Structures are given as C-alpha cells and as structure tokens.
Amino acid sequence: MTGVWKRVMVKLSGEALMGETTHGLHAETVERIAKDLALAASDGTEVAVVVGGGNFFRGIQGADKGIERARADSIGMLATVMNALALEQAIESQGQPARALSAVAMPSICQPYSRQAALNHLAKGRVVVLAGGVGHPFFTTDTGAALRAAELSCDLIMKATQVDGVYSADPKKDPHAKRYERITHDDAIAQNLAVMDTAAFALARENAIPIAVFELKKPESITTALKGQGRFTLVVPR
C-alpha cells in the first residue's frame, strides 16, 4: 500500500497508550507508538492522528457516575489533550516534527485546530496530533477521526484496535466469530459491527474513505498495515 495512501488519519484510543497498566500513560507503549508514527511519516506519508482519552476519563463512564453527559464529555475532551501533548513530545523525541492541535481552544498549551493549520503542518511533513474530539459533547473520537479525515482529504482512516480486524462479534467472547478481510461501509453499518460507531462509518462512506482496522500491539503495526502487510480488515465504500 505504500505510495497509494498519500495522507492517512490514524485513530488511537486513549487505552492504547496505557499499555498493560490500568490507567494513565505507559512510557514504553507511548514511545513504541510514537516511533511507529514517526517511521510512517519518514517514509513520505502525511500522518494525522486523532487520540482518545479513555485512559484518563471517558464521557460515557462519567455520565454513568452521575455527571451530566455534556459535562462528562467535556472532561473527556480535556483528557484527549493530555494524551496529544504526551504523544507530540514522544514523536518529536524520535526526531520527527509533530504538532498537537486542539478543537477545544487552549492556546497557552497547544495550537487551536483549524483545517488550514492542520493542512499546513501536514504539507511540511509534521505529524499532526488532533485533540479535543470535534469540540462538542455527544460525539465520539471515532466520529471525530472520520470528520477530520474528510476535512483534511485523507486517503485512508487507520483504526488501531486490540484485535486484528473486523469480526462479526467480539472474538474474545465468541470463538465462532467470523473475521472479515474486506467489507463495505454499508455492510458494517447494517450488521452493527462495533469496531467504530455508526456515525463514523457513515461519514467515511459519504466521503468514500476506506478504513483499515488493525491490531496495535506489535512494533511497527501502523507502518506494516500501511504497506498492506500483516492482518487487517479493509472497510471500503463499495
């Protein structure tokens, strides 16, 4: 796939940054992911990243604990900024320029997100780390990744998960779950496949952006999938 995808959007969950720990940031895991992102960028691919905040706080969990949903989602957006700043530092420690941009304006900490600013950084070879979701509650970071991918004219969304593709059910719970090598956005929506939420699939479908779903646990997982190697599922418009 190298050379096919000029610009990609990588979606990382906050949980991906905590490694085997129960919360927060795991330094070795963050370094491994940052090294992978830096390698992808050094190969000539323009790389944008949307990062979640579940290793610190997830809005839906806060709502379950009595915090109103809008407020809980706002706390979750702040958690994504913490992750973006950590990832920005880790990527730059690999010798690869990076910029964290936040949809929630906090200019004393990082640059506010705008489409033109993000495109400018990508054109200069910087990894763009996008925080703050879409800047509003009630939207997941999966939806945020699909929205930013459309805004930035990305050729591919790379959804990093704990499994090696899209399955008909959770393979950790159902040993008979069917794994898909390739599936359409329409089928993913119709079958309610939970690897991304419906709004994210719909946004990707409407903008004809394929989604590569792959496992993040191994070193160079991102660059391996980007080259069309290893195990992953490709979700395509048709």
Q: Encode pLDDT of 112-139 as tens digits.
A: 999 999 999 999 999 999 999 999 999 9
Q: What are the angstrom distances between the C-alpha of 107 and each of 80, 102, 112, 114, 121? A: 15, 9, 6, 12, 17
Q: Give the pLDDT score at 207.
A: 96
Between 57-71, 98-112, 151-165, 200-214, the lowest mean confidence (pLDDT) is in 57-71
The CATH code of the domain at 7-236 is 3.40.1160.10
Identify the DSSP state of 22.
S
| Residue 176 CB contacts under 8 Å (≥ 6 apart), including other chains | 169
pLDDT tens per residue across span 17-68: 998 899 999 999 999 999 999 999 999 999 999 999 999 987 667 667 789 9
Put residue 95 in one of left, alpha, beta given phi > 0 → left and psi -120 to 50 → alpha: left
DSSP 103-166: SS--TTTSEEP-HHHHHHHHHTTPEEEEESTTSSTT--HHHHHHHHHHHTT-SEEEEEESSSSE
Q: Parse the chain into domains and list their residue ranges.
A: 7-236
pLDDT above 70 coverage of the chain, percent: 97
Are 4 and 210 in contact by the 8 Å Cβ rule? The answer is no
pLDDT tens per residue across span 62-114: 667 789 999 999 999 999 999 999 999 999 999 999 999 999 999 999 999 99
| Residue 7 CB contacts under 8 Å (≥ 6 apart), including other chains | 45, 46, 47, 48, 122, 152, 153, 154, 155
Q: Give the pLDDT score at 2.
A: 43
- What is the pTM for the complete model shown? 0.93
Are 223 and 212 in contact by the 8 Å Cβ rule? The answer is no
